[in-house]
């Protein structure tokens, strides 16, 4: 018989479900993702490090897993909660079941949770730490365990997911050579940069400006990543030095936030964050809207942006009017909060890579 599993939230709420077959106890910040497909890409996205993911789509695992759909070398989430976990899958090019995929990497998952009710709960109460366990349902024990876990606000996580040493991807004859600062970079981003004529050398998050200036890069890419950008002083210092070089800079997600911080803007932890494949964003320069893929729990403060003499708002979220993109006046620097390499639109945001390449060409 399947093991009983439970979910204990920081606000003292207890939810009961069923273990999908993997035992243990694990904590993380509980957040929900509204995507109907792409669960493997979600689970392997380094921006999800330190989080327990709640999938709003009811069926997870029904098309198995495939190595080509990994965004990094391993599963990055701390745990999974879903309505119905499928041990069986149906897809010709799938290589293994999601259960085997989780089992190989010792990731806990529970299902038979009323995910609609749970999403409404954390949508109203906000993202918070939680613990999932197949080992105990004792509230006192779970509360004591959770009390020892750090909050996401102020937590630095990029150093745990970044590359340990530099590496290069792409054609050596590519017209542009780009340095990518890896705060938790996704493989599909590198693929997109390669597609647009860039050879990319990826550096650890703690790379120094002196290491970068050894090379004559045509531009700099600041990647996505997990955790609180305000806790990354080491990376902020490097980005501030890069802005003195006048070489094109393109940032996304964490890189977007660090670019904003380097010009005196402020960031804050969002009540729930944005995670899903259908977030509408308006480009204020063209008047066009994009359907975007997003995964972030922090954002740039709109109030601090409005006070800036150097930074302009380029994109805005049409759901909640939060900052989705910035440009630096009179500089070849720009960034967006969402993930433009993904294709929910289907290719609404690919023009940003073209813009980056054009800046390097100029």
Catalytic residue flag (residue 339): yes
Residue 83: C-alpha distances to residues 51, 118, 242 (Å): 18, 10, 46
Cβ within 8 Å of residue 51, ≥6 positions away? 28, 29, 30, 31, 77, 78, 152, 226
Catalytic residue flag (residue 279): no
CB 326 within 8 A of CB 335: yes
Catalytic option among 41, 290, 324, 341: 341
Residue 222: C-alpha distances to residues 6, 219, 329 (Å): 38, 10, 18
CB 161 within 8 A of CB 49: yes
30: nearest Cα among 98, 84, 99, 78: 78
Q: In the chain, count of helices (H) and strands (E)?
A: 11, 19
State how beta strands 323-328 and 311-317 pair: antiparallel
Catalytic option among 6, 31, 198, 253: 253
CB 168 within 8 A of CB 199: yes
∠ at Cα 217 (215, 219), nearest 5°?
Answer: 150
Q: What residue has token string 């708002």?
A: 313
- Please name the residue ranges forming H helices in 29-138: 39-43, 98-105, 115-125
Catalytic residue flag (residue 341): yes
Pair of tokens at residue 349: 């945001």
Burial of 152 (C-beta count, 10 Å sphere; 0-12/13-18/19+): buried
Pair of tokens at residue 130: 């939680």
Q: What residue has token string 């308006």?
A: 282
Catalytic option among 177, 279, 296, 339: 339
CB 178 within 8 A of CB 217: yes
Return the active site residues. Answer: 253, 339, 341
């Amino acid at each position: 018989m399947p093991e009983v599993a439970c979910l204990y939230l920081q606000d003292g709420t207890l939810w009961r479900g069923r273990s999908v077959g993997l035992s243990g106890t694990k904590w993380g910040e509980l957040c929900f993702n509204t995507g109907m497909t792409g669960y493997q890409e979600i689970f392997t996205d380094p921006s999800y490090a330190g989080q327990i993911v709640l999938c709003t789509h009811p069926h997870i695992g029904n098309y198995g897993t495939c190595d080509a759909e990994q965004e990094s070398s391993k599963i990055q989430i701390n745990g999974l909660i879903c309505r119905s976990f499928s041990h069986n899958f149906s897809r010709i090019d799938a290589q293994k079941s999601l259960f085997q995929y989780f089992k190989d990497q010792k990731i806990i998952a529970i299902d038979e949770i009323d995910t609609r009710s749970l999403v409404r709960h954390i949508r109203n109460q906000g993202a918070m730490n939680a613990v999932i366990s197949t080992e105990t349902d004792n509230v006192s024990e779970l509360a004591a365990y959770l009390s020892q876990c750090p909050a996401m606000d102020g937590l630095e996580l990029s150093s745990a997911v970044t590359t340990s040493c530099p590496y290069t991807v792409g054609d050596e004859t590519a017209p542009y050579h780009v340095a990518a600062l890896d705060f938790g970079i996704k493989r599909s981003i590198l693929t997109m940069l390669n597609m647009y004529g860039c050879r990319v050398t990826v550096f650890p998050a703690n790379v120094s400006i002196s290491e970068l200036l050894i090379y004559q890069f045509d531009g700099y890419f600041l990647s996505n990543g997990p955790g609180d950008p305000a806790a990354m002083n080491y990376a902020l210092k490097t980005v501030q030095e890069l802005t003195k070089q006048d070489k094109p800079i393109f940032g996304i997600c964490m890189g977007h936030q660090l670019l904003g911080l380097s010009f005196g803007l402020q960031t804050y932890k969002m009540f729930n964050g944005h995670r899903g494949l259908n977030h509408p964003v308006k480009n204020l320069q063209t008047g066009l809207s994009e359907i975007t893929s997003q995964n972030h729990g922090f954002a740039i403060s709109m109030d601090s942006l409005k006070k800036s003499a150097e930074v302009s708002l380029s994109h805005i979220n049409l759901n909640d009017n939060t900052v989705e993109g910035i440009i630096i006046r009179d500089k070849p620097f720009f960034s967006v909060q969402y993930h433009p390499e993904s294709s929910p639109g289907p290719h609404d945001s690919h023009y940003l890579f073209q813009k980056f390449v054009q800046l390097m060409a100029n």
